[in-house]
Structures are given as structure tokens and as C-alpha cells.
């Protein structure tokens, strides 16, 4: 079993919420339902930017839907104190990107996501109506994880990255992930590690200059995966930071979200082998897979160090700032000097 992680966006909290009649009418019309009941709040969105709720429907083929209701606050709350205009603009853009993703992109059963039933903006509020993955059979959440479940998530990522290999991220973040350097100048400025701070731009360039690019989920932590009862099938949610980039960014972030430093040291090589085995099965035949694997394996340490750079500025006491991350960072800084 592996390290505990934050609650999934689809854990159900026992708090009922209210919803404007205008929004209820949209959902009734979209689903062809005769009535609905607003159920429990599933989660409050990061920094108080709204909530995710489950709605129970009558008179249609869907027993329920999940609604992501974004409400831009007059004054945001942030656990790390990063309440700036830049932070607000980034979050607003993230919800616009997520809406565009659900409306314009699709995957398949090997990298399952919820279907988007409707999306609408109402001034400073946004509504995304999604298929309820619980009903679709992905009703399990994990705060600790077994080997088969880690591999199921890595398979999802491999299939996702293969599906979108060489696909331009139109309407998405040009460079995906929520920690991308260009969107985090405040956190870079706050860093105490002078050597890594000075190398941050070079690390970013190495990752951006990858020959093989795909679309990355951008926030592929354990909490954003929903599991089947067997744990062998997964679906993913939360596409606010989906965009272009090297697939290793998702892989390192996922592995770091569910394993501590000792587990990483022991397990990462075998888990990377599993990811690339799965990737090879789904990459198009006209792609030089050997070249792709060689490049992305070389990018692994750079991608890990890139996220480590973000953490050092954002939350220096974070548990992910550990021996494994520091060792990879040391190796990357040494490579950059050669």
C-alpha cells in the first residue's frame, strides 16, 4: 500500500447545496429529465472557486449527473497565501480551458473521461454538467494504492499520451500542467535554492524543445482518478490544466502523488517499463517508438526536477520535497553543466 493522498473530487461530502432555478432548468432540458434533486456537495473547488455537486434526476435515462459549478469569488482563499491577480487570472483561464476541453476533445475506453452533457457561462459563474462516473462503474476512490492500481493509472496515461501524440493543443494551455514556469513567476521568485532557480529556464526549455509532444492531463494525481471495483479500470477527471507537452510530466506527477521517496527509489524503474510497454501498444505505427522512448526516458529527471522547482517556491515544507527529488535535481543540474 502507498502514501495517503488528498480526497478525490468525487468523494461525497454530506452537505446539501442550493442551485439557481436557471441552472436547474438547463440540466433538466439537457438530460430530458422531468425533475431533479440537488444532492450532496462532493467538493469545494480550490481556493473557494465554487463547488462540485451530484444531482439526482427523475424521468430520464440518467439517475444522476455531476455538476462543476464555478463561482469566481470576490476574495479568494488559498492555503499557501498565493492570492494575487495573476493567480486569479490563471484559475479563470483554467476553467475556460477545461470547458473547451470537454466540448471539443474526446477519448476512448482505454483512457476514459466523463462525457460532457452541457457547459455554459453566466457572467462570473460557469456550469459544466458531466456524466456521473459512479453510475458508469467507476465508483471507487483511493487514498492509498496497490501495485495493480498504480499500473492501471499509468496505462491510462500511456493510452492518453498515445492518442494525442503530435496533436496540437488548440484552445488548451500551450504548455500543460499547473506548475509550468511561465505561469509561476511568483513562486520562482520565492525560491531559496539559487542554483535551481538560475537553471529553471534551461530546464523548461529542455522540456519544451522535446521532439515528441502530446497533450498532457496536467494534474494527474491519484485523487483525480476514479476506479472500478476491481481496480483494473480507471477514468480521470479535472482537466483545468490540460495542454501540450512531454508525457513524462504526467508520469512524474502521478508517481510522486502516491509513493514516498523509498518507494520511488525501489519501484520507479519497473513502473516506467510498464508505462512504455503500454505506450508502445497504442502509438501509431508511423512513429519511431525507440526514438520516442529514448527521448522521454531522458526527460523523466527533467520533468521531476521541474515540479520540484515549483514546490520549493510554492510550499517549501511539502512532503514531496524529499531525498528522491533532490537526487534527481542534482543529476539534472550536473547534466546542464556538461
Query: Alpha-carbon torsion 167, 168, 170, 174, what sign?
Result: positive
User: What letter would DSSP give residue 13?
Assistant: P
The pLDDT value given to residue 72: 85
Task: Please tell me whether residues 98 and 168 are part of one structural domain.
Answer: no
Question: What total of structural domains would you count in the chain?
Answer: 2
Task: Please tell me whether residues 201 and 173 are part of one structural domain.
Answer: yes
Compute CA 212 distance to the chain's CA centroid, rounded to the nearest angstrom: 20
Task: Tell me if 126 is assigned to some domain.
Answer: yes
- pLDDT digits over 137-149, tens only? 999 999 889 999 9
Task: Please tell me whether residues 234 and 88 are part of one structural domain.
Answer: no
Q: 1 exposed, middle or buried (CB, 10 Å; 0-12, 13-18, 19+)?
A: exposed
The pLDDT confidence band at residue 45, using thresholds 50, 70 and 90, is: confident
Residue 13 has pLDDT above 70, yes or no: no
CA distance linking residue 223 with residue 16, whole number of Å: 22
The pLDDT confidence band at residue 75, using thresholds 50, 70 and 90, is: low
CA distance linking residue 159 with residue 165, whole number of Å: 10
The last residue of one of the domains, among 131, 153, 175, is 131
Task: Please tell me whether residues 60 and 165 are part of one structural domain.
Answer: no
Count other C-beta atoms under 10 Å from residue 144's C-beta. Answer: 12
The pLDDT confidence band at residue 84, using thresholds 50, 70 and 90, is: confident
Task: Tell me if 2 is assigned to some domain.
Answer: no
CA distance linking residue 27 with residue 47, whole number of Å: 26
Least confident of 69-73, 175-179, 183-187: 69-73
Task: Please tell me whether residues 153 and 235 are part of one structural domain.
Answer: yes
Residue 204 has pLDDT above 50, yes or no: yes
pTM summary value: 0.91
* CA atoms lying within 13 Å on the CB side of residue 18: 2
Compute CA 57 distance to the chain's CA centroid, rounded to the nearest angstrom: 28
Task: Please tell me whether residues 197 and 89 are part of one structural domain.
Answer: no
Task: Tell me if 66 is assigned to some domain.
Answer: yes
Task: Please tell me whether residues 170 and 292 are part of one structural domain.
Answer: yes
Arithmetic mean of pLDDT, 143-164: 96
The pLDDT value given to residue 154: 98
User: What's the whole-number average pLDDT of the chain?
Assistant: 91
Contacts of 60 (CB under 8 A, 6+ apart): 31, 32, 33, 34
Residue 11 has pLDDT above 60, yes or no: no
The pLDDT confidence band at residue 40, using thresholds 50, 70 and 90, is: confident
CA distance linking residue 184 with residue 181, whole number of Å: 5
Task: Please tell me whether residues 265 and 223 are part of one structural domain.
Answer: yes
Task: Tell me if 11 is assigned to some domain.
Answer: no
State residue 192 phi and psi, 5-degree precision: -95, -25
Q: Are 39 and 54 in contact (CB under 8 A)?
A: yes
* CATH classification at residue 231: 3.90.1200.10
Task: Tell me if 15 is assigned to some domain.
Answer: no
The pLDDT value given to residue 124: 86
Task: Please tell me whether residues 177 and 300 are part of one structural domain.
Answer: yes
The pLDDT value given to residue 122: 87
The pLDDT value given to residue 206: 98
The last residue of one of the domains, among 105, 131, 157, is 131
Task: Please tell me whether residues 159 and 101 are part of one structural domain.
Answer: no
- pLDDT digits over 297-335, tens only? 999 999 999 999 999 999 999 989 999 999 999 999 999
Note down the domain range covering 273. Answer: 140-337
The pLDDT value given to residue 5: 34
Task: Please tell me whether residues 147 and 290 are part of one structural domain.
Answer: yes
Compute CA 168 distance to the chain's CA centroid, rounded to the nearest angstrom: 18
Arithmetic mean of pLDDT, 156-160: 98
The pLDDT value given to residue 17: 58
Task: Tell me if 14 is assigned to some domain.
Answer: no
Task: Tell me if 8 is assigned to some domain.
Answer: no
The pLDDT confidence band at residue 19, using thresholds 50, 70 and 90, is: confident
Task: Please tell me whether residues 304 and 324 are part of one structural domain.
Answer: yes
User: What letter would DSSP give residue 48?
Assistant: G
Dihedral over alpha carbons 298, 301, 302, 304 (to 10 degrees): 140
Task: Tell me if 251 is assigned to some domain.
Answer: yes
* CATH classification at residue 73: 3.30.200.20
The last residue of one of the domains, among 131, 166, 189, is 131
Arithmetic mean of pLDDT, 63-72: 94
Amino acid at each position: 500500500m502507498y502514501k495517503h493522498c488528498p480526497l478525490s473530487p468525487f468523494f461525497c461530502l454530506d452537505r446539501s447545496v442550493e442551485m439557481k432555478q436557471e441552472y436547474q432548468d438547463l440540466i433538466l432540458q439537457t438530460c430530458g429529465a422531468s425533475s431533479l434533486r440537488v444532492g450532496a456537495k462532493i467538493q469545494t473547488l480550490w481556493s473557494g472557486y465554487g463547488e462540485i455537486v451530484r444531482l439526482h434526476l427523475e424521468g430520464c435515462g440518467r439517475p444522476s449527473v455531476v455538476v462543476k459549478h464555478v463561482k469566481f469569488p470576490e476574495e479568494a482563499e488559498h492555503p499557501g497565501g498565493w492570492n494575487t491577480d495573476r493567480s486569479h487570472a490563471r484559475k479563470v483561464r483554467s476553467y475556460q480551458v477545461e470547458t473547451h476541453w470537454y466540448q471539443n476533445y474526446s477519448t476512448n475506453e482505454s483512457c476514459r473521461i466523463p462525457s460532457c452533457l452541457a457547459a455554459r457561462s453566466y457572467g462570473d459563474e460557469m456550469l459544466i454538467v458531466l456524466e456521473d462516473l459512479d453510475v458508469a462503474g467507476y465508483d471507487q476512490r483511493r487514498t492509498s494504492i496497490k501495485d495493480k492500481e498504480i499500473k492501471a493509472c499509468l496505462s491510462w496515461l500511456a493510452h492518453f499520451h498515445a492518442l494525442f501524440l503530435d496533436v496540437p493543443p488548440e484552445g488548451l494551455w500551450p504548455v500543460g500542467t499547473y506548475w509550468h514556469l511561465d505561469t509561476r513567476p511568483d513562486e520562482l521568485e520565492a525560491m531559496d535554492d539559487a542554483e535551481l532557480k538560475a537553471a529553471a529556464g534551461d530546464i523548461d526549455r529542455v522540456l519544451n524543445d522535446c521532439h515528441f509532444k502530446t497533450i498532457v492531463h496536467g494534474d494527474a494525481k491519484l485523487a483525480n482518478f476514479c476506479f472500478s471495483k476491481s481496480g483494473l479500470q480507471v477514468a480521470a477527471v479535472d482537466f483545468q490544466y490540460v495542454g501540450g507537452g512531454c508525457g513524462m510530466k504526467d508520469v512524474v506527477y502521478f508517481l510522486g502523488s502516491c509513493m514516498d521517496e523509498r518507494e520511488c527509489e525501489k519501484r520507479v524503474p519497473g513502473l516506467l517499463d510498464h508505462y512504455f510497454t503500454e505506450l508502445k501498444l497504442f502509438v501509431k505505427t508511423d512513429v519511431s517508438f525507440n526514438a520516442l522512448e529514448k527521448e522521454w526516458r531522458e526527460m523523466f529527471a527533467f520533468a521531476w526536477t521541474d515540479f520540484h522547482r515549483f514546490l520549493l517556491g510554492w510550499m517549501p515544507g511539502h512532503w514531496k520535497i524529499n531525498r528522491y527529488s533532490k537526487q534527481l535535481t542534482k543529476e539534472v543540474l550536473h547534466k546542464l553543466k556538461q
